[in-house]
Chain A
Amino acid sequence: MRFKIVTSPHISQDVSVGQMMRRVLYAMIPGIAALTGFFGWGILINLVIATAVALLAETVMLTVRGRPLALHLSDFSAVVTAWLLAVALPPLAPWWLTALGIFSAVVVAKHLYGGLGYNPFNPAMVGYVVLLISFPREMSTWLIPHGLGQPHALSFLETLRVIFNSEWPARFALDALTGATPLDALRTQIGLGLTVTGIRNSPVFGIIAGQGWEWAALGFLAGGLWLVYTRTADWRIPAGMLGGLAIIATIFYLADPQHYAPPWFHIWSGAAIFGAFFIATDPVTASTTARGRLIYGAGIGVLVYIIRGFGGYPDGVAFSVLLMNIAAPAIDLYTQPRVFGARRG
């Protein structure tokens, strides 16, 4: 009689890379739907442009590097990168901005470092940061979200014209539709010496955080919780990140509630929830040990708060994720789990 001999792990889950990536895409749908509802067609057009450019760039780079095309194109990693970046871009971003961001993400940040699994930095965030520091004006032209249930101010065709021809429809002034994001408004008005309660009464803000933005955050939270439930993302990273952000925000809020926004505002604003569940959890660039992931997440959360409160940009998720990406190998080194039976210390 022959016994089958296999090495560990003995309990395995039959999930391929492609399946994981597809789950991430499904999980983004509620958030994307909310964003489209509040900001119009631009979000969906950006998604299409980004996906097309990402697949093209991936195909070209795989051909140049002599890698099997079908295998790597069907793992959906390029599409995930494209969606993560497209969601972070302003809804009326010109097409070349999206294309350039995807190029930096897929070609520079991913394939020049050796392709999927070898990239030390989150590709989507590299693309985002390249655009943010190179084209600050284009990257900060956000539309004002319109009320629930109201028709979009810009029709589908008008949005297409703005994105591809930079042709602004004559019936609107640019300032009538675009405006500061909630975090931007908070930042500039605190700089002017206003108090947080006073600022929160302005129409940019909704129940918890930004008007419209809070619903997108809710959508991403729902998708993110599903990712955690299916074990596609490790709960430790989002828990660490939101926990870190909440703790540091609470400390400052308790010290001076007129000067610092409350913790629930910080968690619900900007890219915090989206970043915690979708960006920081990238298995390639995050820390890999259990304790390490908590530290990695908490580091991102604290850095986000520092950049929002004291840095030069209104939101800091992208920078924080990239900074912690550099730290991830060191975190892994110092948080190796103890082998069972080995001595402590």
Chain B
Amino acid sequence: MNETGYLKILKDGVWTQNTGFVALLGLCPLLAVSNSVVNGLGLGLATLLVLLISNVAVSLIRNLVRPEVRIPVFVLVIACVVTAVELAMHAFLPGLYTVLGIFIPLIVTNCCVIGRAEAFAFKHKVAKSAVDGIATGLGFMLALTLLGAVREVVGQGTLFSQADLLFGEFGKELTLHLADNYRGFLLAILPPGAFIGLGCLIALKNVIDSRIQHRATAQPVAVLIEAKP
């Protein structure tokens, strides 16, 4: 088992191996729920919590479970965690719970949850699995929130609308109206807007990555040229 540093796990989960932008796992909730920042953030937080608990649980029992039956065990663990998170959201955030609806129980089918259990938590110690759960969850939350922001701004001309569902009374003042008299661009709110928006965000991430790589490879050359005379 290769030793991976905590920082690398974090960076992989949030950026290099981002579930939403690179691995393209869990696209169903990503595309369906990301029509506003608050919806995205809400489902992102729920998924983060599920990932953290399921990763820790799988890592704890990894020496007790025979590899032949690991997948059913994973499913059982994840289903329990999702049910608990769903009940908790129903109790404490009823508004958000109604808005997100079926997509909270559907976290159980999110392939990134079982994917991390299989690929990481089953092979690593508890602390690392926990960090991996948090990192992957943060990455998914980042993708959901960014896509939600893009679609909300383009579609309705607002940001953080209905934030009171997540933050209580304080959230009501958070809503930003970016333009007066904005007619709304319905396509961005509808499903095709999710696909187009995700495509644009993936392209943006690739551009950023290639710029970083370009700079990293370009620097030594520049130093050489300067050193020559």
Interface residues, chain A, CB within 8 Å of chain B? Answer: 108, 130, 133-135
Contact = CB atoms under 8 A, between A and B. Distances in A.
10 contacts: A108-B196, A130-B187, A133-B186, A133-B187, A133-B190, A134-B185, A134-B186, A134-B187, A135-B183, A135-B186
Interface of B: 183, 185-187, 190, 196
Nearest to B183: A135
B186 to A, nearest CB: 4
Classify the interface of chain A: helix, strand, loop or mixed: helix
Nearest to A97: B183
A134 B183 CA distance: 10
A130 B190 CA distance: 11
A134 B184 CA distance: 8
A133 to B, nearest CB: 6
Contacts, number: 10
A135 B187 CA distance: 9
Nearest to A112: B199
Contacts of B187: 130, 133-134
Contacts of B196: 108
Contacts of A135: 183, 186
A323 to B, nearest CB: 14
A134 B191 CA distance: 12
A133 B190 CA distance: 9
Contacts of A108: 196
Given A134-B186, A135-B183, 5 more contacts: A133-B187, A133-B190, A134-B185, A134-B187, A135-B186
A108 B186 CA distance: 17
Nearest to A104: B187
A136 to B, nearest CB: 8
Contacts of B183: 135
A108 B196 CA distance: 9
Nearest to B193: A134
- Which 7 pairs, one residue from A and one from B, show the smallest C-beta to C-beta distance? A134-B186, A134-B187, A134-B185, A130-B187, A133-B187, A133-B186, A133-B190
Contacts of B185: 134
Contacts of A130: 187
Nearest to B196: A108
Contacts of B186: 133-135
Interface centre among A108, A134, A135 (most CB of B within 10 A): A134
